Structure 1
Amino acid sequence: MVVYKQADTLKELEQILDLQQRNLPKNISAEESTKEGFVTVEHTLDLLKSMNDVCGHIIAVDDDQVVGYALCMHPKFANDIEVLRPMFQEIDKTIEGQVNYMAMGQICVAKSHRGQGLFRKLYHTMKEKLPEGFDTIITEVDGKNKRSLAAHTAIGFQELKRYHTLDKEWVIIILQ
């Protein structure tokens, strides 16, 4: 049985990183990244722990194994991951302080558990566990990641803005 909760042990954070590694473009085929989607950012354990200390990451656990995660990234970490800096700049320009949001830093479901509703439940749990004063989740998706864009749209995310950095198109989306 899959349990949804906030990460609270070093072992869980390490399992998040293991699942992340198995879904980075450098570790999967181009065909798989097109069909199944992929994650973009590679976190360090220290950064993952620091983020978790501010707002616990949401995890799906099956038989003591993390099989899905949604990383909570408080805006105070906006400058800590180079590839995400432009996202936070674009969000700030677009919402101009109108909402207190939590960034969803990355979401991933293990291949063994895809198609079982974990994606939706991870976001539902994240929304329930947002710190007081936060009621909105904002994230961005690589414009080439069609599977992820479709999945986010299916659970109620709406496009906030598209922008380009270097050779990538990013889609910033919001769930209120």
Structure 2
Amino acid sequence: MTSILYKRATTLDELDQIRKLQLQNSPQCINAVEKLQEGFVTVQHSVALLEQMNFACAHIIAKDNDSVIGFALVMLSSFRNEIKLLIPMFEKIDELVPKRKTYVVMGQICIAKNYRKQGLFRALYHFYKSELEDQFDFLVTEVDATNVRSLQAHEAVGFKIIDSYEEDGIVWNIVSWDWT
């Protein structure tokens, strides 16, 4: 059994590997059964945007030797306008998070297929919390309502649905993990 290392992303190679993992798990690259059973990632980030986000607050990754096998992106609210699809989410979050409370957005989480069902999802989130809970009151993200696997996994970690909205025919559940 290999030892998995949880850390903050520090190299361009790690960001490139995050991007490759995103592409492998996008809806266009997996079939309908896999989408239902395993989940999927909706947003695609450029390496340049991943690098800008990482510079502001480093992403959380899981590595097996030199390979990134999982990631949980850190997205500060200052990146709210960088991805058009996410603008409505940020607007909703601003309405939902109490004033004088701070939040960070989990920009996306993904585990490589060969490493699923081994506790990495939960471990990535717990590392995320240990790294950032002193800076933020809440971790917030949204999950496509059709991505049942992802929603169940988030609820198992401690997230609660705080709102839902529809945008361009997709129903989004906004989920929050209160760290206070």
Residue 3 (structure 1) aligned with residue 5 (structure 2): yes
Per-residue CA deviations over 1:8-59 (Å, capped at 9, x if unaligned) read 0000000000100000001111111111100000000110000000111000
Residue matched to 2:15: 13
Residue matched to 1:110: 112
- Tell me how far apart the structure 2 counterparts of residues 7 and 30 of structure 1 sit (CA, whole Å): 31
Q: Aligned to 1:115, what secondary structure does the other structure show?
A: coil
Distance change (3 Å), C-alpha of 1:143 and 1:71: same
Larger CA deviation: 93-102 vs 3-12: 93-102
Residue 63 (structure 1) aligned with residue 70 (structure 2): no
1:133 to 132, 135, 141: 135
Alignment check: 8 A CA contact 1:109 1:118 kept: yes
- Tell me how far apart the structure 2 counterparts of residues 95 and 175 of structure 1 sit (CA, whole Å): 11
1:49 to 48, 51, 57: 51
TM-score when scaled to structure 1?
Answer: 0.97
TM-score when scaled to structure 2?
Answer: 0.95
Cα offset, 1:132, TM superposition: 4.6
Cα offset, 1:97, TM superposition: 2.6
Q: Aligned to 2:110, what secondary structure does the other structure show?
A: strand
Alignment check: 8 A CA contact 1:55 1:131 kept: no
- Tell me how far apart the structure 2 counterparts of residues 164 and 132 of structure 1 sit (CA, whole Å): 33
Find runs of 4+ consecutive structure 1 residues off by over 6 angstroms.
Answer: none
Cα offset, 1:135, TM superposition: 2.9
Cα offset, 1:63, TM superposition: 1.7
- Tell me how far apart the structure 2 counterparts of residues 98 and 27 of structure 1 sit (CA, whole Å): 41
Runs of 5+ consecutive residues of structure 2 not aligned to the other structure = none
Q: Aligned to 1:84, what secondary structure does the other structure show?
A: helix
Q: CA RMSD in A?
A: 1.1
- Tell me how far apart the structure 1 counterparts of residues 134 and 124 of structure 2 sit (CA, whole Å): 19
Distance change (3 Å), C-alpha of 1:154 and 1:132: closer
Cα offset, 1:131, TM superposition: 7.2
Alignment check: 8 A CA contact 1:8 1:56 kept: yes
1:89 to 85, 88, 91: 91
Size of the aligned set, in residue pairs, is: 176
Runs of 5+ consecutive residues of structure 1 not aligned to the other structure = none
